[in-house]
Amino acid sequence: MSRIIKLRKGLNISLKGSAEKILGKVPMSETYAVKPSDFPGLTPRLCVKQGDEVKAGTPVFFDKNADKIKFVSPVSGVVEAINRGERRKLLEVVIKPDAEQVSEKYEITADLSESREQIIELITKSGNWSFIKQRPYGIIANPNDKPKSIFISGFDTAPLLFDIDFVLSEQQQYFQKGIDVLGKLTDGKVHLGVDVNDFASCLNNIKNAEITLFSGKHPAGNVGVQIHHIDPVNKGDIVWTVDAQHVAMLGRFFSTGVYDAHKIIALCGSKVKRAQYYRIITGAKITAFSDLIDHDGSVRYISGNVLTGTAVNKDGYMGFYANRLSVIPEGDKYEFLGWAAPRLSKFSASKSYFSWLTPNKLYDLDTNLNGGERAFVVSNQYEKVLPMDIYPVYLLKAIFAENIDKMEQLGIYEVIEEDLALCEFVCTSKIQVQAMLRKGIELMIKEMS
């Protein structure tokens, strides 16, 4: 019997436009992009130029500080553009796919008899290493480290459901293979967190992983919260984390030897006409979904979920780690005496509004800030939505003061932006918690290296 961990703190935000459990097809995008900005802390070095022909799995850039780690083209085709921003910062490598897709192939034994070094070599060379992130800091793992354990969250609790069980249902053998591969990378355990209510989940049959059942509201599905309760990150510890779908993709690579960037995403949000799941190739241009979205008025397209995702343009690209394309209305309008109004159609974790009386209602929230930025005033607001033994406000104040020792003492190694995203959502003072935290993490990386 697996261990059950009950989390009381947290907050579920029920939004309109959850994806139905139907897998749809969209035509191939006109272009695909690989974006360095998807990988925090990365300094990219290009290895293709405009007009080059690439296969799916051909490196397009690598990490300047760890040249083993390659970032590869998701499709075969021609490098159409290399877009740069201010000071020639590399923004995206755009690839136009061929009609006929060819992929890089690798020799892999069927019984996984390779050594740890050979496996790491295979993963880095093939461009699959970017699946593996590390705690602390939430950056791509260093292949030279040996993590004390590896964590995978088997459920996603962020707003607008992304059902990992549904997504993995046809890839269970690949997921198992991925777990086996990860098991070779650590001397510790591979941990898999599963929603206690998901007893039918295919993840419950997975072997070679320590399954822990979680019950609770968002962010119970965040891998950081699960690490905190199972095997917390102390100073000097390194833990690796992999997104569940990426585990299956890793397993698929080790089963077939072929680089394959197909993944399933949920198209969701109140501005979507038919919210359901779609199979795409990583880095797809979102214009592929254009017909499925209601573009009336101003609309925000988010690669990822509404709490942690990245806003993209109407013709932008899906992020590398994004499992959702969330489309919601922009909130760029004025509201007369809004702060005094009953606001029955808006959602608040505060009981000064009435949404706590209608817990089953679905809300159509826009992107309005609903107020102005202020100093911290209300206390105990962040703690209510963070199921970790951490004082987030004190941590943020330490970051603000750039006090490295205090940041370390108050637990900066244990959190990344997604863990504090709800704190930012509920904040009365409208403080930009995630941006502040990333600033602190960047400072830690700089000072500790």
Partner 1 sequence: MKFLHRFINKIKPSFEKGGKFSKLHSVFEGFETFLFVPNTVTAQGVHIRDCVDLKRIMSVVVFALMPCLLFGMWNTGYQHFRSVGLVQNPADAVQSFWTIFWFGFWKVLPIIVVSYVVGLGVEFTAAQIRGHEINEGFLVSGMLIPLIMPADIPLWMVALATIFAVVIGKEVFGGTGMNIWNPALLARAFIFFSYPSQISGDKVWIAGLTEGTGVIDGFSGATPLAIATGGTGDTAASMTVESLQQQLPSIYDMFMGFIPGSIGETSKLAILLGAIVLLITGVGSWRIMLATVIGALGVGYLCNLFAANPYMALPPYYHLLMGGFAFGAVFMATDPVTASQTNTGKWIYGLLLGMIIVVIRIFNPAYPEGVMLAILLMNTFAPLIDYYVVGANINRRLKRAKAKS
Q: What is the rounded distance in angstroms from the CA atom of residue 405 to the CA atom of residue 99?
A: 55
Q: Interhelix angle for 244-256 vs 116-126, to 10°?
A: 100
Touching partner 1, residues 127-166 (CB under 8 A) = 159
Q: x/- contact string, 311-350, with partner 1 (CB under 8 A)?
A: x--------------x-x-xxxxxxxxxxx--x--xxxxx
Touching partner 1, residues 246-305 (CB under 8 A) = 300, 302
Residue of the chain from 115, 144, 313, 352 that contacts partner 1 (CB under 8 A): 352
Angle at 106 between CA 282 and CA 165, to 5 degrees: 45
**Closest distance to partner 1 from the beta carbon of 403 (Å):** 13
Of 444, 421, 416, 419, the residue nearest 433 (C-alpha)? 421
Point out which span in 36-44, 108-116, 279-287, 366-374 binds partner 1 (CB under 8 A).
366-374
Choice between 13 and 48, CB closer to partner 1: 13
**Closest distance to partner 1 from the beta carbon of 414 (Å):** 9
**Closest distance to partner 1 from the beta carbon of 200 (Å):** 31
Q: What is the rounded distance in angstroms from the CA atom of residue 433 to the CA atom of residue 280?
A: 32
Q: x/- contact string, 404-443, with partner 1 (CB under 8 A)?
A: -----xxx-----x---x--xxxxxxx-xxxx--------
DSSP structure string for 26-84: -PPPS-EEE-GGGSTT--EEE---TT-EE-BT-EEEEETTEEEEEEE-SSSEEEEEEEE
Q: What is the rounded distance in angstroms from the CA atom of residue 444 to the CA atom of residue 421?
A: 20
Of 190, 225, 184, 224, the residue nearest 206 (C-alpha)? 190
- Residue 377 within binding range of partner 1, rule CB under 8 A: yes
- Residue 202 within binding range of partner 1, rule CB under 8 A: no
Q: What is the rounded distance in angstroms from the CA atom of residue 435 to the CA atom of residue 441?
A: 10
For residue 379, give the amino acid letter. S
Touching partner 1, residues 4-33 (CB under 8 A) = 13, 15
Query: How many residues in the shown chain lie near partner 1 by CB under 8 A?
Result: 75
Choice between 261 and 318, CB closer to partner 1: 318
Choice between 103 and 434, CB closer to partner 1: 434
Touching partner 1, residues 385-404 (CB under 8 A) = 389-391, 393-394
Choice between 199 and 339, CB closer to partner 1: 339
Q: 72: buried, middle or exposed (CB in 10 Å: 19+, 13-18, 0-12)? A: buried
Choice between 322 and 410, CB closer to partner 1: 410
Count of beta carbons in the 10 Å neighbourhood of residue 390:
19
